[in-house]
Structure 1
Amino acid sequence: MLHKTRGIVLSYFRYRETSIIVRVYTEEFGLQSYLVNGVRSAKSKTNRIAFFQPLTLLDMVVYYKPDKDLHRLSEVKINYPFQHIPFDIAKSSLALFVSEMLTKTLKEEASNLTLYHFLEDSVRYLEEAEADYENFHIAFLLKLAFFLGFGPSNAREFEGQLQEQKYPFLPDENTEKALNTFLRQRLGAPVKVSRQTRAELLDALVAFYRIHIDSLGEIKSLAVLREVLS
């Protein structure tokens, strides 16, 4: 049966010679996988692979059956064309990191409108921000943790959970203040932190996620992000 839904591309992998399987977090059905045939073919008349880059916002008409793990697309178009993310090294690195974290953490195959709208608003913020978005990934991961069921209520709780696992995170007063601002204020609220503090917070956040998600594994985009933001 055909359904209309919006979606956010998380990742894709190659399937056979010319096809891909793409993971999309959809507005109507939560996390879904779609087989897209011929997208990598030299005979393809359009560069449809561009539709499936990290965090691309899509309008889709999809075939959906509740008992299937792999679905098909009937129609797809870009809902919100990017003008900056693919062409700005900092933004594209942030998008790649965020999409990898979402791929490894989102498992729910059911509609969650609040989560979907948070993700869409976050992508739009990253695309539209003209400055002061270097802390985007820090604030995003702290807020995403609440949707995943393990968001800390304040900096002290965050610090305490890490220390219980013997992770060496000892923030000073300014870092604690920054953490509390990230937790309580809107995404994009201005927070002044040094590059070193930002790097320490990023490593602590990945460790925090590993406490709660055993299957997190290696975050391949992390090294690139560290290099770009250093």
Structure 2
Amino acid sequence: MNETIYLQPGFILKYRNYRETSIILEVFTRDYGKINLLAKGVRKPKSKTAGLLQPFLPLLISFTGKTELKALIHVEFLNMKISHLAGVALYCGFYVNELTGHFLHVYDPNPDVFNDYFKCLQALSEAGQQEIALRQYELNLLENLGYGVQLGFDPSLQKPVEANKHYEFYVEQGPIETTNGQFSGQILLAIDNREFAEIKVRSAAKIIMRRVIDFYLQGKPLKSRSVINKIIKL
């Protein structure tokens, strides 16, 4: 059955050239999740569409098709307030796109993730907020997709994490109290509450989130992460 969808809000996560004049897009849409689109002829010199088919631009996308790879039939700019990403913020945006693409499934809608994605792009454009924006998005993404990071409860003792104790963190278990644990309960609770004002909290959150993300990606590398690490430690 042929399906045609009109004016669906979405963002381009990545794209690649296809044949001589076309491109294949990976798009994150609000109501249909991640989809793959074939944009025919947009690389022709007189194409009026190519300028819109860029990451981080809010778009209204119309598409049609019978197979998983749909055909793009119309695209226009969606008038949403979003700042231009440049410098470090731009590389952080590529990381967010790559991470999102890895964790989302095709045609699995998640409006909460879509809203968090938009908020993250807005926050990345604010000076000095990139690290906080990334940690918040990582935590929210995993939580919304069912991979929630459990930081407030010690399963070995069956009791809540205490601020004055120390813990080791294990992805499949959560925090386990130990005398010389790597993380204080105070820091774990701050991360759990998305309180990233202190540098030590942000540093611990980076360690934990990298551990969790690498576990679920099962060895798949994040190319954008290595690029960011060469520029700034986020």
TM range (shorter): 0.7 to 0.9
Residue 197 of structure 2: aligned partner: 191
Cα offset, 1:16, TM superposition: 1.3
Supply the AA of the counterpart residue of 2:123.
Y
Unaligned 5+ runs, structure 1: 183-188
Cα offset, 1:155, TM superposition: 5.6
Contact (CA 8 Å) 1:62, 1:75: kept in 2 or not? Answer: yes
Cα offset, 1:203, TM superposition: 4.7
Residue 147 of structure 1: aligned partner: 144
Contact (CA 8 Å) 2:169, 2:208: kept in 1 or not? Answer: no
Q: 1:113-192 residue pairs with structure 2 within 5 A?
A: 113-127=111-125, 129-154=126-151, 160-162=169-171, 170-172=182-184, 175-182=187-194, 191-192=197-198
Query: Comparing both chains, which one has the higher relative contact order based on Cα–Cα distances under 8 Å and sequence gaps of 6 or more?
Result: 1
Residue 76 of structure 1: aligned partner: 75
Return the TM-score normalized by structure 1.
0.77
Supply the AA of the counterpart residue of 2:148.
G
Change (3 A) 1:135 1:227: farther
Residue 2 of structure 1: aligned partner: 4
Contact (CA 8 Å) 1:8, 1:26: kept in 2 or not? Answer: yes
Supply the AA of the counterpart residue of 1:44.
K
Q: 2:211 matched to 1:212?
A: no
Change (3 A) 1:45 1:9: closer
Residue 56 of structure 1: aligned partner: 57
Supply the AA of the counterpart residue of 2:139.
L
Contact (CA 8 Å) 1:181, 1:191: kept in 2 or not? Answer: no
Q: Deviations over 1:173-193 (max 9, x none)?
A: 6643542232xxxxxx65221
Give the SS at the match of 1:135.
helix
Cα offset, 1:2, TM superposition: 2.9
- The percent identity for this pair of structures is 20
Residue 111 of structure 1: aligned partner: 109
Q: Deviations over 1:23-44 (max 9, x none)?
A: 1111222211000122223x23
Unaligned 5+ runs, structure 2: 155-166, 175-180
Give the SS at the match of 2:73.
strand
Supply the AA of the counterpart residue of 2:209.
L
Residue 31 of structure 1: aligned partner: 34
Q: For 2:46, which of 26, 44, 47 is the aligned residue? A: 44
Change (3 A) 1:95 1:57: same
**Which has the larger strand fraction?**
2
Change (3 A) 1:11 1:31: same
